Amino acid sequence: MKHNLTESYPIVKNRYEALRARNMRLDISRGKPGPDQLNLVNPMLSILTEDDYLSGSGIDCRNYGGVDGLPEMRQIFAEILDVSASDVIIGGNSSLNLMFDRISDFCTHGVCGGIPWHEQGAVKFICPTPGYDRHFNICQYFHIQMIPIEMTQTGPDMDAAETLAESDPMIKGMWCVPVYSNPTGCVYSDETVKRIARLKPKAPDFRLFWDNAYTVHNFAENRPVIPNILKECTQNGNADMPLVFASFSKISFPGAGVSAIAASENNRKHILSQIGIQTVGPDKLNQLRHIRFFKNADGVMEHMKKAAEIIKPKFDAVLTAMEEELTGLSEWSKPKGGYFIHFRAEENCAKRIVDLCGQAGLIITEAGAVYPYKRDPKDRDLRIAPTYAQVDELKSAMEIFCAAVKLSYVEKMESINIATKN
């Protein structure tokens, strides 16, 4: 997009310098819940009393065991993910950890008893971009080649995904964040989900990493409902293709939530045999705290409404500032849930904007982070994470952000003018 900024360089520069002189210090680089949101969950810290350690099903949560999780916790995840409790295995506090472990196990031990990925040659993954940097970090860590495809408003570019997955046996996986994708906030359309479920990957050991991190993180009137990937895949002869991940990190506490994986019986059998070697059992007392606090999936939905009352004004503060200052100059997402706003700057300006924000004390996600290998070919995509800061802080932060965007644009214009004069 070509900008139509009418303010001159000195005006834009002076404003930026005035804002820089305020010596602000704020970090909105990561999608962390704010203390106000975490406070909603504080009663959970003391919810278990001395004699409350038996689950409803009679399991002593203090002891070893229960590798697949408490039945009540599996039931809560089952309702959230629209699957059966028997489809669910409970993990520790981090779903990213579960994703890492799956990939690690596939690399060294193969998928469901198949040939280890690392013995097959150069493994590749399809990476819809802009995407989640920590997914890309996992791939990089395991030397998995990342193939970027475009993330559209309705999900990944499915023509590209089909062509790649169906032609190359070394393409072993694809990252998907189907609801309120990180960072674009898009929700996959029904058609996209169905096309994904119909994929006929060339690799028999292809797995879909279906990271449903934001399925209940809604601040619109209604929570988006998309087709159930496990059912859709099963109907298309792909029952073993999807691995569905979710967690309570942004429902309860990011440092002390509960994660889960839902998958076919065949997948679960292999996952459990690996987990059974890795651990003698997860933290069931923490699962019990979650069960006592939320009670059931309805309790989770009610809680998320309270969280939305805190989160929505933060998104509104950022979006209003962008609308007032940057309309006609740039484009950005207007999500109805999730944790991020995706900002598309002019080409070759993203790094400079991050740098200018940083000099003025505002830390935003590193430019390039939403691309594999941190390589944004057009240096234009940025991610804003409004949830950690308070609304007033965000208003000040956005003054800096908008001033930085404008300054980067006029600097670019100036350098083009100088280059053409020379």
Per the listing, tokens 């080649």 go with 145
Rounded least distance, CB 351 to ligand PLP, Å: 22
We find the least distance from the C-beta atom of residue 181 to ligand PLP, in angstroms, to be 8
Which pair of tokens denotes residue 239?
A: 């029952």
Contact between residue 33 and residue 388 where contact means Cβ atoms under 8 Å apart: yes
Tokens of 329: 């100059």
Phi, psi dihedral angles at 332 (to 5 degrees)? -155, 160
- 365 lies in the site for ligand PLP, by CB under 6 A: no
Angular region, 281: left φ>0, alpha ψ -120 to 50, beta rest: left
Question: DSSP strand E in 237-368: where?
Answer: 242-247, 259-262, 331-332, 341-344, 362-363
Q: Which stretch binds ligand PLP (CB under 6 A): 17-25, 70-78, 90-98, 137-145?
A: 90-98
Q: Return d(Cα 331, Cα 346) in angstroms, integer.
A: 9
- Minimal distance in Å, beta carbon 339 to ligand PLP? 6
Strands, E, within 91-196: which ranges? Answer: 124-129, 145-152, 155-156, 171-176
Cis status of the peptide bond prior to 183, with omega within 30 of 0? yes
Q: Which of 110, 254, 358, 361 binds ligand PLP (CB under 6 A)?
A: 254
264 contributes a contact to ligand PLP by CB under 6 A: no
Alpha helices in 142-182 (DSSP H): 158-165
By CB under 6 A, residue 286 contacts ligand PLP: no
Q: Interacting stretch for ligand PLP, rule CB under 6 A, among 105-113, 139-147, 186-194, 246-254? A: 246-254
Contact between 177 and ligand PLP by CB under 6 A: the answer reads yes
Query: According to the binding rule CB under 6 A, does residue 387 interact with ligand PLP?
Result: no
Which residue type sits at 158? M
Under a CB-based contact definition with an 8 Å cutoff, are residues 261 and 244 in contact? yes
Helix, strand, coil tally for the chain in percent (to 5):
45, 15, 40
Q: Which of 161, 186, 213, 407 binds ligand PLP (CB under 6 A)?
A: 213
When asked if residue 259 is in the footprint of ligand PLP (CB under 6 A), the reply is yes
Nearest distance, CB of residue 283 and ligand PLP, angstroms: 14
Site for ligand PLP contains 77 (CB under 6 A): no
* Cβ at position 254, least distance to ligand PLP in Å: 6
Q: Report in angstroms how near the CB of residue 367 gets to ligand PLP at its nearest.
A: 18
Question: Which positions from 24 to 43 touch ligand PLP by CB under 6 A, shown as an x/- string?
Answer: -------x------------
Separation CA 258–CA 209 (nearest Å): 18
Q: Which residues pair with 151 in a beta bridge?
A: 156
Out of 82, 205, 211, 393, which residue is the one contacting ligand PLP (CB under 6 A)?
211
Closest CA to 44 of 293, 281, 239, 280: 293
Nearest to ligand PLP of 184, 259 (CB atom): 259
**Which two structure tokens, joined as six digits, stand for 298?**
């309805």
Single out the segment in contact with ligand PLP by CB under 6 A; choices: 45-53, 57-65, 67-75, 94-102: 94-102
Give the contact letters, 113-142, x = binds to ligand PLP (CB under 6 A), - = no.
Answer: -------------------x----------
- Minimum gap (Å) between residue 99 Cβ and ligand PLP: 8
Instruction: Give contact residues for ligand PLP (rule: CB under 6 A).
Output: 31, 94-96, 132, 177, 182, 211, 213, 247, 249, 254, 259
